[in-house]
Structure 1
Amino acid sequence: MKISSSIPKHILPVIVFSQFAGTSLWFAGNAVVPDLIEELNLLEMFVGFITMAVQSGFIIGTLVFAVLSVADRFSPVKVFLVCSVLGALANVLTIYSSNFTEVMLARLFTGFFLAGIYPVGMKIASDWHKEGLGKALGYLVGALVLGTAFPHFLKYLGGDMPWRFVITGTSALSVIGGLMLFYSVADGPYRVRRSSFKPSMFFTLFKNSNFRSAAFGYFGHMWELYTFWAFIPTLLAFYVLSNQGFIINIPLWSSIIIGVGGISCAIGGYISLKKGSKFVSKISLFISGLCSVLIPFLFHAPVWVFLGLLLIWGIFVIPDSPQFSTLVAQSTDSSYIATGLTIVNSIGFAITIVSIQLVNLMWAHFQNPLVFLVIFIGPLCGLFAISRYKVS
């Protein structure tokens, strides 16, 4: 399966860069959590709440986009630009927040506008790629991964610079990405315009057994993914605390462990062309699930073993994401691809709130690494669901 040679060569790289730039807003707040806790006198549990705020905003946004069929009714490229700019402005509001509530609102609005970046970016890619969609989405989710890792890397690069450097840097990058996409990529040739939304489509989509399998596989994947990403700094900090004398640069290693998944997404995209999206999804869920079971017992292991397993987890926790999106898209009527993706995304991100808050509350109460075994529920359920998907 080959991507059509009629597609201009710059299209996919520009979409990928813009996706990376826009999604750098996602964990901008997480990268400066220690600074916010110190400056605003917040609880250590703040990491769970700031992540929840972004996820909640994203859920609200994806539901609004789905109900109004925004990406189907209007130019996806223009939607992407508007949301990149407004998301950047919402992100900057974090700098001017003086208490818990204001930070939560700033992150909530940032998450809302991310709904016009991440799924809409996938919509734009699908509008350009009738074939090889799994490969294209592999690059796009890889861009999301690098965007998620980037604020931690900025924090590392900034060193002793004020934490506001991370916020302004990611906001500027988001605007640049939106403008670049707008001025160099048109709406794709395979775009199907749809001006109305039928609430019954929700139930119609889930009547399709393959759509259900792909969707529930994705839900299991999401139970694991953002909880793992959100608590990587916590895992690293607890390892340092448990092994006096070890020094780990937490922002740097957080960015590496998250960012390495960007490479595996691209590789997974290539593998999917030969082996299929279902194969990549099953392998990813199995290995990442195994990592989630092993990591709680390795806090006194040699540092290379601990970091090595986190890297393996970072590699396999994400390649299934674009493949699930591909399977969802392939199981959806072409007129409702964006609607199907946003519905699945909204439910998936709702699940991340449950898993993140569950781990957050258990960690605050027990301070025992065994609480991270809760993450294994996701890969286990996801593997069961995707195994029922029937490849035609």
Structure 2
Amino acid sequence: MTVQQPPKYILPVIVLAQFLCTSLWFAGNAVMRPLSQELHLDADFVAHLTSSVQLGFITGTLLFAILAIADRFSPATVFMLSAICAGIFNLGMSITDLQPMQVLLFRFFTGFFLAGIYPVGMKIAADYFQQGLGKSLGFLVGALVVGTAFPHLLSNMLQGVPWRYVLYCTTTLAIIGGVGMWLLVPDGPHRSKPQQFSFGAFAAGFRQPHFRQAALGYFGHMWELYAFWAFVPVMLQYYNSTHPQSKIDVPLFAFVIIASGGLACVVAGYLSQSFGTANIASKALLLSCCCCLVSPLLLQQPSTIALLIFLWLWGLFVIADSPLFSSLVAQHAPAQSKGSALTIVNSIGFAITIVSIQTLHFFSDKLPLTFVYMLLAIGPILGLLALRKRITT
């Protein structure tokens, strides 16, 4: 029987909507400096800001899964409503005279509704592309990466304009992305029936060696990923402050370093088709681990160009394995409870990002800052140990 191919516009629309909506993720980080000056916040508040988004995302992901929201209702409708709600809470940060706790609450609820965007976007893609899903996930994670970096570019483009316009723009883009998904992407032909959520599904899956390896590799990857993204502007600002001759445009190069990972996701997806998903994922994890370990040398040396090239390469390696680990976890999750197992793996992974971000924050005034980022190697090392026996793919 011939499998009907989805219209060619479907994947580009999903990817574009994912990009537009995930621009909300680091919108707070992109305006952190002027926001801190206006509200007299501690410079280290960036760690709490990022962690609050992650905590909101974890909470939202679990609640959406327990209630089977994306299964019981049209995923495109869930995506649109989540984009609108996330955008509204993103705008909340533009209110004058906020208290620090209010800022964190607005970021928490932005993260909460991002749970109806990023995972639901992946589900929409899976409802259309059972064949070649790994390659589709490469494009989707790539869209997440570029969307995450985009507020930094907006901050650069809007220099001289009040910082709140970054929030206005990202909210507008998110609403456009959500409405576009709702108008142009109907329910896919492979949309599955709701599964009953079970916390025991993860434990059952974790007893299977290949699923356990894939999950541990993903956890190691997540320890490094969001902490690196959150602290890229901090690294660049630190380098400017310690090298008077350096005049790095922090928002612009933060965007370039983070966004370049989108291309790495796509390339890794294609390479995995020829050389194996687990093989490419392991190599990317190893390379990003090496970047963590040598970071003190690059953050102290005098060449600005060498530093930027190093951070650009780190930005490539740190995310290249993300769609591959997602594919491995999905491939080896228990068939009868795949949705629950994937949700819990995803939630644990994002919980780990909070721990790693707060760990960097804790040690940032106890160790020389150039050595702090070596701590990011802990996750990749543990992930590589878990992957020492190759997963079959």
TM-score bracket, normalised by the shorter chain, equals: over 0.9
Counterpart AA for 2:108: L
Query: Superposition pairs for residues 36-47 of structure 1, below 5 Å?
Result: 36-47=35-46
Counterpart AA for 2:376: I
Looking at structure 2, the residues matched to 186 and 331 of structure 1 have their Cα atoms a distance apart, in angstroms, of 28
Looking at structure 2, the residues matched to 162 and 99 of structure 1 have their Cα atoms a distance apart, in angstroms, of 19
Looking at structure 2, the residues matched to 124 and 239 of structure 1 have their Cα atoms a distance apart, in angstroms, of 42
- Offset of residue 368 of structure 1: 2.6
Q: What RMSD, in angstroms, separates the aligned Cα atoms of the two structures?
A: 1.5
Comparing 273-282 with 164-173, which one deviates more in the overlay?
Answer: 273-282
The residue number in structure 2 matching 1:179 is 179
Identity of aligned residues (%): 47
2:195–2:337 contact (8 Å) kept in structure 1: no
State the Cα deviation string for residues 242-279 of structure 1 (Å, max 9, x = none).
Answer: 21121010000000000000111111111122222212
- Offset of residue 71 of structure 1: 2.1
Comparing 74-83 with 228-237, which one deviates more in the overlay?
Answer: 74-83
Gap change, CA 1:199 and 1:362, over 3 Å in 2: closer
Counterpart AA for 1:380: I
2:293–2:374 contact (8 Å) kept in structure 1: yes
Matched, 1:281 2:281: yes
Looking at structure 2, the residues matched to 117 and 359 of structure 1 have their Cα atoms a distance apart, in angstroms, of 28
1:277–1:327 contact (8 Å) kept in structure 2: yes
Query: Superposition pairs for residues 237-256 of structure 1, below 5 Å?
Result: 237-256=237-256
The residue number in structure 1 matching 2:34 is 35
1:66–1:343 contact (8 Å) kept in structure 2: no
1:80–1:121 contact (8 Å) kept in structure 2: yes
Counterpart AA for 2:377: F
Query: Superposition pairs for residues 188-207 of structure 1, below 5 Å?
Result: 188-194=188-194, 196-207=196-207
2:195–2:339 contact (8 Å) kept in structure 1: no
Matched, 1:166 2:181: no
- Offset of residue 389 of structure 1: 4.8
The residue number in structure 2 matching 1:133 is 133
- Offset of residue 237 of structure 1: 1.0
The residue number in structure 2 matching 1:25 is 24
Matched, 1:379 2:380: yes
Counterpart AA for 1:146: V
Counterpart AA for 1:349: F
Counterpart AA for 1:47: V
- Match of 2:192, SS? coil
1:73–1:195 contact (8 Å) kept in structure 2: no
Gap change, CA 1:86 and 1:364, over 3 Å in 2: same
State the Cα deviation string for residues 354-381 of structure 1 (Å, max 9, x = none).
Answer: 0000101111333431111100111111
Looking at structure 1, the residues matched to 366 and 255 of structure 2 have their Cα atoms a distance apart, in angstroms, of 27
In structure 1, list runs of 5 or more residues that go unmatched.
Answer: none
1:119–1:338 contact (8 Å) kept in structure 2: no
- Match of 1:364, SS? coil
- Offset of residue 295 of structure 1: 1.4
Gap change, CA 1:365 and 1:93, over 3 Å in 2: same
State the Cα deviation string for residues 176-220 of structure 1 (Å, max 9, x = none).
Answer: 111111111122222211153233323222222222111111100
Looking at structure 2, the residues matched to 314 and 199 of structure 1 have their Cα atoms a distance apart, in angstroms, of 34
Looking at structure 2, the residues matched to 211 and 68 of structure 1 have their Cα atoms a distance apart, in angstroms, of 25
State the Cα deviation string for residues 320-343 of structure 1 (Å, max 9, x = none).
Answer: 111111111111245644433321
Looking at structure 2, the residues matched to 5 and 253 of structure 1 have their Cα atoms a distance apart, in angstroms, of 43
Looking at structure 2, the residues matched to 96 and 387 of structure 1 have their Cα atoms a distance apart, in angstroms, of 50
TM-score, normalising length from structure 1?
Answer: 0.96
- Match of 2:241, SS? helix
Comparing 206-215 with 351-360, which one deviates more in the overlay?
Answer: 206-215
Looking at structure 2, the residues matched to 359 and 165 of structure 1 have their Cα atoms a distance apart, in angstroms, of 30
Looking at structure 1, the residues matched to 82 and 69 of structure 2 have their Cα atoms a distance apart, in angstroms, of 12
Looking at structure 2, the residues matched to 333 and 378 of structure 1 have their Cα atoms a distance apart, in angstroms, of 25
Gap change, CA 1:47 and 1:228, over 3 Å in 2: same
The residue number in structure 1 matching 2:344 is 343
The residue number in structure 1 matching 2:51 is 52
Looking at structure 1, the residues matched to 324 and 336 of structure 2 have their Cα atoms a distance apart, in angstroms, of 20
Looking at structure 2, the residues matched to 110 and 5 of structure 1 have their Cα atoms a distance apart, in angstroms, of 37
Looking at structure 2, the residues matched to 177 and 204 of structure 1 have their Cα atoms a distance apart, in angstroms, of 37
The residue number in structure 2 matching 1:361 is 362
Gap change, CA 1:76 and 1:389, over 3 Å in 2: farther
- Match of 1:318, SS? helix
The residue number in structure 2 matching 1:310 is 311
1:62–1:112 contact (8 Å) kept in structure 2: yes
Counterpart AA for 1:106: F
1:88–1:110 contact (8 Å) kept in structure 2: yes
In structure 2, list runs of 5 or more residues that go unmatched.
Answer: none
Counterpart AA for 1:180: G
The residue number in structure 1 matching 2:221 is 221
- Equivalences, count: 389
The residue number in structure 1 matching 2:326 is 325
Comparing 140-149 with 264-273, which one deviates more in the overlay?
Answer: 264-273
- Offset of residue 56 of structure 1: 0.7
Looking at structure 2, the residues matched to 335 and 163 of structure 1 have their Cα atoms a distance apart, in angstroms, of 48
Counterpart AA for 2:161: M
Query: Superposition pairs for residues 69-218 of structure 1, below 5 Å?
Result: 69-96=68-95, 98-194=98-194, 196-218=196-218
- Match of 1:248, SS? coil
- Match of 1:159, SS? coil
- Offset of residue 172 of structure 1: 0.6
2:129–2:136 contact (8 Å) kept in structure 1: yes
- Offset of residue 235 of structure 1: 0.6
2:53–2:111 contact (8 Å) kept in structure 1: yes
2:278–2:391 contact (8 Å) kept in structure 1: no
